[in-house]
């Protein structure tokens, strides 16, 4: 199958996304890189290694990447995933058998991308720092990337702030570099769509029913479930990252539209917001505005079909 690399900051929904890719027969998961985000880098790296090990994928190399944003340090972190990123349950997963790669994330990405003859899909599901560094330091590597399928951005309301989605907000300068400055094929999967792909506690029960991997994943959901119960009054969770990884595994499972995009890197209330130019092309042309860089943005999907794809994919 197509080769896939995941760049991640586990994170409960990252864990679901990793399980989906690790167990897919449609793609070949060739590497995982980690980034700071939901919790500090040391924890996201440990979580990624333990998860892959638990999913029976000790063959997948893991390399650690950026421990902070490119330019401006973040003042807040996300508490949604618990202190260790996995609802306090990280230590319930056995330590990984496989050593962490001595190479850093960018170096491993370069060697994985150079090694294969066909272009590789990368699914970044955390802050975009590693990907910005990769593209900045290795401009020629662009040709080796088939597509970036990114979980990030908010067209309407944000989550970490009123305007911004967490992954973009956590390193807006990096996100701007990747989404706006680089001409690499991008499919952005914003939270406007991912939050519609919420799954209920019934869905979680079905995932765990007689399935060891499903059971492990559900055991990691405690703090994340509490968040959705308390803050949104919803009895279930949102699988943001798994939605992007589903698209990386099965291109076209999400419906996309092309939009010019920008990222707000100012220090006002819109810092980290993603701005799509949703005026019609004809309108823009009539006004004589040059079309800026544009990307594919996931706008819709068959929600039940997607939930089934994730459920079946993880259950294997």
Q: Please give the residue ranges that form the binding site for ligand BDR (CB under 6 A).
A: 11, 13-14, 38, 78, 80, 125-126, 151, 159, 165-167, 191, 240-241
- The Cα 170–Cα 78 span in angstroms is 10
146 makes contact, choosing from Ca ion, ligand BDR, none, with CB < 5 to 8 Å by partner type, with none
From the list Ca ion, ligand BDR, none, which binds 191 (C-beta under 5 to 8 Å, kind-based)? Answer: ligand BDR
Nearer to ligand BDR, 112 or 189 (CB): 189
* The dihedral sign for the CA sequence 21, 27, 33, 38: negative
- Helices of type H across 126-274: 129-137, 166-169, 172-176, 191-194, 201-208, 212-219, 222-232, 240-249
Q: Which is closer to ligand BDR, CB of 55 or CB of 144? A: 55
Least Å distance between CB 200 and Ca ion?
Answer: 21
What is the rounded distance in angstroms from the CA atom of residue 316 to the CA atom of residue 310? Answer: 10
Q: Which of 72, 138, 240, 283 is catalytic?
A: 240
Catalytic, 283? Answer no
Smallest gap from residue 125 Cβ to Ca ion (A): 4
Q: How far is the CB of 284 from ligand BDR (least distance, A)?
A: 29
- Closest alpha carbon to 150 in 173, 169, 175, 172: 175
Is residue 7 within the footprint of Ca ion (CB under 5 A)? no
Q: Is residue 125 a contact residue for Ca ion (CB under 5 A)?
A: yes
Radius of gyration of the chain (CA): 18
Helix and strand element counts for the chain (H, E): 13, 11
Q: Which does 78 bind (CB under 5 to 8 A by kind): ligand BDR, Ca ion, none?
A: ligand BDR
- Binder to Ca ion among 14, 146, 223, 296 (CB under 5 A)? 14
Nearest partner of 175 among 196, 194, 190, judged by Cα: 190
Q: What is the DSSP letter of 162?
A: S
Residues contributing to the site for Ca ion (CB under 5 A)? 9, 11, 14, 125-126, 241
**Catalytic residue list:** 240
């Amino acid at each position: 199958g197509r080769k896939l690399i995941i760049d991640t900051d586990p994170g409960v929904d990252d864990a679901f996304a990793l399980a989906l890719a690790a167990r897919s027969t449609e793609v070949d998961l060739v590497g995982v890189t980690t980034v700071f985000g939901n919790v500090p880098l040391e924890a996201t790296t440990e979580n990624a290694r333990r998860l892959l090990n638990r999913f029976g994928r000790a063959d997948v190399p893991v390399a650690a990447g950026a421990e902070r944003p490119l330019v401006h340090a973040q003042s807040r972190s996300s508490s949604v995933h618990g202190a260790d990123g996995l609802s306090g349950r990280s230590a319930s997963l056995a330590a990984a058998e496989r050593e962490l790669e001595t190479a850093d994330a960018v170096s491993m990405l370069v060697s994985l991308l150079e090694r294969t003859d066909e272009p590789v899909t990368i699914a970044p599901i955390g802050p975009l720092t590693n990907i910005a560094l990769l593209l900045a330091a290795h401009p020629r590597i662009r040709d080796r990337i088939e597509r970036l399928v990114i979980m990030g951005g908010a067209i309407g309301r944000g989550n970490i702030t009123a305007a911004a989605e967490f992954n973009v907000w956590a390193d807006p300068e990096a996100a701007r570099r990747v989404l706006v400055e680089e001409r690499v094929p991008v499919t952005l999967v914003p939270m406007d769509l991912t939050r519609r792909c919420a799954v209920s506690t019934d869905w979680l029960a079905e995932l765990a029913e007689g399935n060891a991997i499903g059971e492990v994943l559900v055991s990691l959901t405690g703090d994340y479930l509490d968040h959705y119960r308390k803050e949104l009054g919803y009895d279930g969770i949102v699988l943001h990252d798994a939605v992007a990884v589903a698209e990386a595994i099965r291109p076209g499972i999400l419906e996309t539209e092309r939009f010019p995009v920008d990222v707000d890197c100012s220090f006002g209330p819109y810092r980290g917001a993603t701005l799509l130019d949703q005026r019609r092309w004809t309108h823009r042309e009539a006004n004589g505005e040059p079309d800026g860089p544009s990307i594919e943005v996931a706008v819709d999907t068959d929600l039940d079909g997607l939930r089934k794809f994730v459920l079946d994919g993880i259950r294997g």
